[in-house]
Amino acid sequence: MPRFSKAVSSLRSSEIRDLMTLASRPDIISFAGGMPGNELFPVQEVEELFHELDSKKKQSAFQYGPTPGLPSLLESLAGFLEKKGLPVKENRLLITTGSQQGLNLLAKTFIDPGEPVLVENPCFIGALSAFRASEAELRGVPVDSDGISMRALQQEIDRTEKAKFLYITPYFHNPAGLLYTTNRKEQLISALQGQDIPLIEDDAYGDLYFYEEDRPRLKPIKAINPNGIDVCYTGSFSKILGPGLRLGWMLVPEEIYQKCELIKQSADACSPSFTQVLADAFIRSGQIYSYIASIRKEYKRRAESMVAALREHLPEYVKWNEPRGGFYIWLTLPEETDATRIMMLALERGAVFVVGKTFDPEGKRNNSLRLSYCNNTPEQIAEGIPLVTDAIKQVCG
């Protein structure tokens, strides 16, 4: 038996990854993955953009690049982020290999084994696994429909052993689907100011809003630029261009940037130049804006069909959110329910989703489940949702 490190021995394959194998069976309707629809990718547009590049640019796409990212992409991405009001000039921008790498770099930057970090409960599984890989002690703080629970957060802030950071996903949360209210963000800012607890603000889905009127609520905390909090803002091309590019970014204060860049040097030296060249061309052509507008519409259509199917078939005792953007609907079942039993039954019937405990920092609470509508047509949703709701009724009565 090889003598593995303690850190790697405690790693477990994520339930989502394991499920992907099952979910990829062609006869199963999968509401499991947070993957954009394949048919929505701008394949032809990107093909044309690459074709139009001069040969020097094309050659550079095959070459190693600087660790922080290709200068041309850093410049065009800065423009994209400045439109959101982000303080790009006062911070440093680092291109990462997916925003998942950003979370890993930040985990390595801040966490020594056994040190506490604060996460939402439920929490994005990729963040949990990045923090677990650094052997953090995960302290879950519940969320309600407005955002992180302030009472529980304040208790955590007041504890003697101070957390190394707080990680949140305020804009179309994965998995809870929620969008923080402006008021809750303001309360959060006041609670964190001067506490020496950096904030990791994960904004993977903020561009995918369904309602114009929500735009003020989507202003990143990083853009509010509060005094006395080190805000580490992460973002991604995965949901607005394609996860296959493996490109994300972080916008962080200089001191934190310096550490992350050093760690990235040893992790992968640089993110893929090829996809950086493509992402840069996509931004510079302006197509990123029209493309995002088009997928916003399509995800809204998909969300609406899932909402309609749930309204028709879901028993009243199930609590759930009507999404205002992003990819997910979160169902909360009666207290004692085991969502894994529902999932096994749903699988027999031909549909799959992700059970709640996957997103619990302690891996226990399982009276909830996540449905993704991003990767299914309205027809598949109409067919698949009754398979899930029948399984719920069979288990919960």
Task: List interacting residues with ligand PLP (CB under 6 A).
Answer: 34, 98-100, 124, 126, 169, 174, 202, 204, 236, 238, 243, 248
Give the residue from 219, 128, 108, 120 showing the smallest Cα distance to 166: 120
Minimum distance of ligand PLP from residue 130's CB (angstroms): 9
Minimum distance of ligand PLP from residue 374's CB (angstroms): 10
Alpha helices in 314-375 (DSSP H): 339-349
Q: What residue is closest to ligand PLP based on CB?
A: 98
Nearer to ligand PLP, 168 or 309 (CB): 168
Minimum distance of ligand PLP from residue 204's CB (angstroms): 4
Nearer to ligand PLP, 172 or 320 (CB): 172
Bond preceding residue 175 cis, omega within 30 of 0: yes
Give the residue from 4, 118, 43, 66 showing the smallest Cα distance to 287: 43
Minimum distance of ligand PLP from residue 127's CB (angstroms): 7
Nearer to ligand PLP, 34 or 65 (CB): 34
Minimum distance of ligand PLP from residue 100's CB (angstroms): 3
Nearer to ligand PLP, 210 or 359 (CB): 359
Minimum distance of ligand PLP from residue 165's CB (angstroms): 15
Nearer to ligand PLP, 292 or 396 (CB): 292
Nearer to ligand PLP, 99 or 187 (CB): 99
Minimum distance of ligand PLP from residue 123's CB (angstroms): 9
Residue 87 identity: P
Whole-angstrom distance, CA of residue 357 vs CA of residue 21: 19
Tokens of 268: 């992968």
Whole-angstrom distance, CA of residue 251 vs CA of residue 199: 12
Could you give phi then psi for residue 369, rounded to 5 degrees?
-155, 155
Nearer to ligand PLP, 243 or 253 (CB): 243
Nearer to ligand PLP, 273 or 337 (CB): 273
Whole-angstrom distance, CA of residue 45 vs CA of residue 340: 41
C-alpha distances in Å from residue 287, one per residue of 194, 293, 346: 41, 10, 40
Minimum distance of ligand PLP from residue 160's CB (angstroms): 30
Could you give phi then psi for residue 226, rounded to 5 degrees?
-70, 145
Whole-angstrom distance, CA of residue 292 vs CA of residue 9: 41
Nearer to ligand PLP, 214 or 390 (CB): 214
Whole-angstrom distance, CA of residue 162 vs CA of residue 188: 16
Residues 201, 231 contacting (CB under 8 angstroms):
yes
Minimum distance of ligand PLP from residue 99's CB (angstroms): 4
Q: Which residues of 307-337 are buried (b: 16+ CB within 10 A; e: fewer)?
A: bebbeebbeeebebbebbbbbbbbbbbeeeb
